[in-house]
Amino acid sequence: MRIDLNIGGYGILIDEPEDSPVCAWPLSPFDRFLTPSAAPPAITVEVQIVNILPDLPAGPVRFDACHGLWTLFESNTGPVLECLDTQTLRTRIRATLDPDFSTVRAFVLEQATATSTGWVPMHVISPLVELCLVTRIAREGGILLHSAGVLSQTGGYVFTGPSGAGKSTVAQFFAERGASVLSDERVILRKHGDGVIAYGTPWVGSGRYAKNASGPVTNLYCIRHGAQSHRIETMSPGAVLSSILQQCFLPHWDREAMNATLEFLGELAQQIPCRSLAFIKQPDVVDYLDHYSAGMSLVAP
């Protein structure tokens, strides 16, 4: 089976040449990102379904995600990844990765379900594809941000904040006005010339918004729920970096990618207006933001 995805402008190929039975696929909203590309994929995952996982030579631990998720090890040829079944805590995937995180050779344990026996592509996408994607994005000038992304007639908005801050709520209010919601949970931001482009992703929040589209970012808001009225405040560069950094999916396992992430965040704070937004749960927050943006555009530089 061949699965072609395009996420954040990155072509991703998951190739299982034996056509083994597949469970729980295609899965919404990942089906919206099934886009074959004429260009060679940026990330290729070669999948082999096995009854017994092979022993792969692994050295010291490079990064441990804890909580029964995955562990990345050093080796002489490149990182080695072990992924656990979150219910049984037994290893279900072992994989070798090229040093540039572009090619993965994954051995996937055959899995029995109530109706069939096969493999689950989502177990390969998370965490294998996510790991490679986050690393590549960071190394090449970008971040995967815990945020909602919206493209409207007045600009491209990114709303970032912790769970419960109101990302899905703001996304819904914009969607009701006809705006294009890229995501209400995770948005990819990448450098593009002197600006920044926001890309939708298939990772969704409570609003289930996910669109395979992109557009320029004109405003970034660090959001929270307000008390009595909507309120926008300026933020110092240090506060901007601190707030955004807390919501990034950081490539802690890769020094080059971490350094590039910090550099990108510094540029982002300089290129894009970043402010805090406290809002009450009312649809007129869209008008409030539109009026604020229009007023700012009339101010002479």
Ordered by start, the domain boundaries in the chain are 2-139, 142-297
CATH fold for the domain made of 142-297: Phosphoenolpyruvate Carboxykinase; domain 3 (3.90.228)
What pLDDT does 21 receive?
Answer: 92
Between the two ends of the chain, the Cα-to-Cα distance in Å is: 55
On the question of pLDDT at 36 being above 60, the answer is: yes
Q: SS3 for 212?
A: coil
Whole-number Å distance between alpha carbons of 219 and 252? 27
3-state helix, strand, coil in the chain (%, to 5): 25, 35, 40
Higher per-residue pLDDT: 111 or 277? 277
Distance, CA of 249 to chain centre:
7
Higher per-residue pLDDT: 205 or 36? 205
pTM for this one? 0.95
Return the sign of the alpha-carbon dihedral for residues 273, 158, 33, 65: positive
The percent of residues in the chain predicted with pLDDT above 70, rounded, is: 96
Whole-number Å distance between alpha carbons of 290 and 298? 13
Q: Which residues of 199-212 are buried (b: 16+ CB within 10 A; e: fewer)?
A: bbbbbbbebebbbb
Whole-number Å distance between alpha carbons of 139 and 162? 24
- Structural tokens at position 101: 């995180």
What pLDDT does 38 receive?
Answer: 82
Residue type, 176: E
Span 249-265, pLDDT tens digits: 999 999 999 999 999 99
Residue 293 pLDDT class (50, 70, 90 cuts): confident
On the question of pLDDT at 87 being above 90, the answer is: no
Whole-number Å distance between alpha carbons of 120 and 79? 23
What pLDDT does 113 receive?
Answer: 67
Q: Which of 62-66, 72-76, 109-113 has the lowest mean pLDDT?
A: 109-113
Whole-number Å distance between alpha carbons of 118 and 106? 15
- In 3D space, the residue among 54, 81, 59, 56 whose CA is nearest the CA of residue 70 turns out to be 81
**Average pLDDT taken over every residue of the chain:** 94
